[in-house]
Chain A
């Protein structure tokens, strides 16, 4: 039985994001809209010198991260500036769900992956489990950040990540980042529809000789069973800081437990044999 079956009549069509980085203009409206809607605190005033990216990575205080990649193509002596808005992938097989001991992380009726802030105890098991480094425990950059009145000013140590705006979905609205994106680089919708749209877009780009163009995480048969939030990239995933071949980190757990059980069985048998043998 899949998690979705347990929702019965409440189960919804699977929804997600298609982030088409080929039209991203790097305005970061998605980052700000996300923070405004979800009351995510400021993450510190740190200038990185990494092009125009001062967010650096996804984390408890950054649920969208716009990467800026400056590339020179020596053959044509041209420069291009890649921009790409990263987010939790809402994996089909999500390792974070597998390891969460409290059930704080759960699969919603939309097939998205959400942390319940009132259940999470901050154990942090999910942090290393995510193959994309999405999950992160919340620490605040400053003692007294000039936070919005609704924000807690306490370090809480719980994990926070993109909820695909679960509350907005329930109200029939698209997530805040998709709503704010001026170029429709972030598209929200039923996953099947998004996949179809992405295939068409890729075809068009390839016909226009965008040789590096590819879909990332679209296919159900990749490492994590496909992403609920997948991407169109213009170059290798590594260029954007994304793992080329993500694997569900809990994939080998059953096998490991089996091996451990066999080993434990052998030890028990050995001890028993020693006693039986010794009593002779």
Chain B
């Protein structure tokens, strides 16, 4: 801990977490440098089943969108068709793998510790969607559909949001088509909508649907995704 009369960099304690800031602290008021400053606010994710309770601007107006046929967005909030992608998916890492797995799914000692793409849901969602622990599920967005083994767990509870019970789906994003262990790539499901400051795509919250069983193969896969997209239109 620096003494009270410390100045300049000497006053920055080792446990001040905002290491990119000159003072090691987070700033509420950011006078320059941010595309969407100077004060923080709440926006819903680009794809979300909800409107913004704070004010009428639903999602960040400065986010970068790419309206191209290969990057379709799911209908959101109360838009028609949003109910076809009713769940909130979030992607995350496991300690055993590194990013998309290119450097860890080739290593036997790491692959054996997390040897299959899986997806985590609550017992409530499992019951609602007819999913079986240990079985297969197909998770889909308007971009693609992937399959994963089902891990039913109380760790991913439904959330009560705006008076509505909302289910979450947890997706590790470490799998792909090559290596010792292969499996569905969660990033196939997410869209390209970038935050305005550091231009990272929104993969921590987006909307999906889920159903039991393995995904369609070959040409049947894009047909399956397209068919749901048609219904949502």
Question: Residues of A at under 8 Å CB distance from B?
Answer: 26-28, 31-32, 35-36, 41-47, 49, 51-52, 54-55, 70, 72, 79, 81, 145-147
Contacts and interface: CB of A to CB of B under 8 A. Distances in A.
A45 B180 contact: yes
Contacts, number: 59
B17 interface: no
B115 A45 contact: yes
Interface in B93-109: 94-96, 108-109
| A contact patch SS | loop
B154 interface: yes
B149 A47 contact: yes
Contacts of B96: 28
Closest 9 CB pairs of A and B: A47-B116, A42-B108, A45-B115, A49-B134, A27-B95, A47-B115, A42-B112, A32-B109, A79-B154
B42 interface: no
A36 B107 CA distance: 11
B95 A26 contact: yes
Contacts of A36: 109
A207 to B, nearest CB: 25
A47 B148 CA distance: 11
Contacts of B134: 49
B112 A72 contact: no
B114 A54 contact: yes
B109 to A, nearest CB: 5
A70 B111 CA distance: 23
Contacts of B181: 45
A32 B116 CA distance: 18
A46 B115 contact: yes
Given A36-B109, A70-B154, A79-B155, A52 B94 contact: yes
A36 B109 CA distance: 8
B75 to A, nearest CB: 33
Contacts of A79: 154-155
Interface in B125-173: 133-134, 149-151, 153-155
Given A28-B96, A146-B180, A44 B153 contact: no
19 contacts: A28-B95, A28-B113, A32-B109, A42-B111, A45-B112, A45-B115, A47-B116, A47-B118, A49-B133, A49-B134, A49-B150, A49-B151, A51-B153, A52-B94, A55-B112, A70-B153, A79-B155, A81-B155, A146-B180
